Amino acid sequence: MQKSTFGSVRKLKSGRFQARFLEGGKHVSAGTFATAKEAWKALAAIQTDIDRGEHVEVEKGRLTFAEHAQNVLEHRRGDLRDSTVRNWQQSLRAQLLPTFGRMAVADITVGDVDRWWAAFKHKAPSRRNSYFVMANIMRYAVRWQIIKSSPCVIENAGRDVSTKRPDFTVDDFRAVVAHMPLFMGPALWTMFAAHLRVSEVCGINREDYDRATGILHVRRQYVSHGPRSLGPTKTGAVKKVRLLAPGRAALEAHLDSTEGQGWQAMFHGPRGHRMNPRSIQDAWEQAREAAGLPNFHVHDARHIGLTLVAQSGVASLRDLMARGGHTTASAAIRYLHSSAEQDAKVAAATDALL
């Protein structure tokens, strides 16, 4: 066995050469090599990294991906929304831990990530979300000096791979609502007229609507977990939106026919509790089958309303973002669809100029 001022190299029974050095008071292996020269070269590289302050401790790298992911989640829990934490946990359980959970963080290579990416090509939308969870987790591995560089280098991983939704109409919406329980009608028309998510319409209180202006304040959403049923909106912001006429008529008729304090829920279920998203979703799924529209998602109501706003000819992209409660232009644009009828109008108007 040869020694130097840093580390040592010894020949193993296999004929290979093992490089070792002291780290944290213990001898740790820097790997085995075909020749002693290669082993000494590896030790020299480690010594250089230590001198530069770039060395990653071997023992840190033996931490499993599952353990590191949990550490990152605990670290981020204070600044991540509860819904985001749940989404991270779902991605870990469904796609990441089965592949990487027991692997040491330092052993995960670019090739491992590339092979995982290819294996989930049939689940492109969820794969993209899971990849961003992993990339975030591995960034902390670099930040905490567990590894030197992240293996998450997939090109175009953020490309929108969502499947285009069918173009439904207001008449389709009416057809489904006609098969819904009557007490849910006002909630659905309010959801449509203000471009709300189901969780947001369930979070509305009576005082959130101003009859004088027709403006609805969307301050909270129903969160079906934990000790509380209400939480901030998805973006954390309060949205103020003037209801479209059908929703305003339905909501004001509802207020005239019911009683309650301003701080109480706007919409209730048959047992008197605040209406919840799951009950609306279940009723919608039955109603859409009865209406012959099995692919019509309740969230498509947002698409219909915002498409109509865009086709009004007076709404700017900023207007669309405000009504939809979007924080980015790209998020708002995803909800817009140009119908064949609208395209014909655009072409005719352009032809007139020619």
Q: What pLDDT, on the 0 to 100 scale, is given for residue 239?
A: 92
Tens digits of pLDDT across the chain (354 residues): 555 567 888 888 888 898 887 776 677 677 788 898 888 888 888 787 767 666 556 555 578 999 999 999 999 888 887 778 888 999 999 999 999 999 988 889 999 999 999 998 888 888 989 999 999 999 999 888 888 889 999 988 776 555 667 789 999 999 999 999 999 999 999 999 999 999 999 999 999 999 999 999 999 999 865 556 888 888 888 999 999 999 999 999 999 999 999 999 999 998 899 999 999 999 999 999 999 999 999 999 988 888 888 877 777 778 888 888 877 777 667 655 555 566 677 677 777 876
Provide the Cα torsion 115, 116, 118, 121; round to 10°.
Answer: 180
Residues of the chain with CATH 1.10.443.10: 170-342
The first and second tokens of residue 216, run together, are: 């609805």
Q: What pLDDT, on the 0 to 100 scale, is given for residue 280?
A: 96
| Gap between the Cα atoms of 311 and 289, Å rounded | 29
Residues of the chain with CATH 3.30.730.10: 2-55
Max Cα–Cα distance, the chain, nearest Å: 91
Class of domain 170-342: mainly alpha
Q: What pLDDT, on the 0 to 100 scale, is given for residue 208?
A: 97
The first and second tokens of residue 107, run together, are: 């052993």
Residues of the chain with CATH 1.10.150: 65-143
Q: What pLDDT, on the 0 to 100 scale, is given for residue 289?
A: 96
Q: Vertex 79, ends 74 and 84: CA angle to 5°?
A: 80
List phi, psi (to 5°) of 27.
Answer: -75, 125
The first and second tokens of residue 69, run together, are: 């992911």
65-143: what fold? DNA polymerase; domain 1 (1.10.150)
CB-based burial, 314-334: b 16+ in 10 Å, e otherwise:
eeeeeebbebbbbeeeeebeb
Q: What pLDDT, on the 0 to 100 scale, is given for residue 286?
A: 96
pTM of the model: 0.62
Half-sphere exposure of 42 (CA within 13 A, CB side): 19
| Gap between the Cα atoms of 209 and 216, Å rounded | 5
Q: 324 to each of 43, 82, 265, 334, how far by Cα in Å?
A: 58, 22, 22, 11
Q: Which residue has the tokens 């799951």?
A: 278
Q: What pLDDT, on the 0 to 100 scale, is given for residue 342?
A: 62
CB-based burial, 64-85: b 16+ in 10 Å, e otherwise:
bbbebbebbbeeeeeeeeeeee
Contact 241, 267 (CB under 8 A): no
CATH 3.40.640.10, applies to 2-55? no
Determine the straight-line distance between the first and last CA of the chain, rounded to whole angstroms: 88
Task: Tell me the pairing of strands 230-231 and 221-222.
Answer: antiparallel
* Residue 221 exposed, middle or buried by CB count within 10 Å (0-12, 13-18, 19+): buried
Q: What pLDDT, on the 0 to 100 scale, is given for residue 162?
A: 59
